[in-house]
Amino acid sequence: MRSIQYVGLLAVFALVFSLGAFAKDKDKDSGSFDLTQTARIGSTVLQPGHYKAEWTGPKDALQISVLDHGKTVATATGNLKELPSKAPYGAVTMRIHHNNTDQVDEIDFNNRTEALVVAGS
């Protein structure tokens, strides 16, 4: 009787621990970043602050949403770029837009091997 209880307990533990393997990684298609200066993402100019980027679609044709406190404040298109190693820290790379405003070009997320490349508008 005791061996049946142990087998049952072992089966419950195996089931509970395997559920994590089937759960969707919520952070896989999102990441947080900080803007230290005013910058354009898509057609929207964002003020300095802490934001979250979420993306959907294939790696080479992403739909990107930028959220501030859970609310979408900007949208853009882009793609994921594979980095040679994990980024040691988060970073935002910018370029000058044709109207002399800073445009977010790439977002590297801390401790991740993929960077988000934002298409210009």
Into how many domains does the chain fold?
A: 1
For 28-87, write each residue's pLDDT tens digit.
Answer: 799 999 999 999 999 999 999 999 999 999 999 999 999 999 999 999 999 999 999 999
DSSP 100: S
Structural domain boundaries, residue 74:
26-118
Question: Is the residue at 16 inside a domain?
Answer: no
Cα–Cα distances in angstroms (integers) from residue 64 to residues 2, 26, 32, 57, 95, in the given order:
55, 15, 13, 9, 18
Residues near 120 by Cβ (< 8 Å), separated by ≥ 6? 95, 97, 103, 105
The confidence band for 25, taking pLDDT boundaries of 50, 70 and 90, is very low
Question: Is the residue at 13 inside a domain?
Answer: no
Q: Which residues pair with 80 in a beta bridge?
A: 116
Question: Is the residue at 99 inside a domain?
Answer: yes
Question: Is the residue at 19 inside a domain?
Answer: no
Question: Is the residue at 45 inside a domain?
Answer: yes
Question: Is the residue at 58 inside a domain?
Answer: yes
94: tokens are 């910018």
Higher-confidence position of 47 and 6: 47
The predicted pLDDT at position 13 comes to 46
In DSSP notation, 36-95 reads SS-EEETTEEE-SEEEEEEEES-TTSEEEEEEETTEEEEEEEEEEEE-SS--SS-EEEEE
Question: Is the residue at 63 inside a domain?
Answer: yes
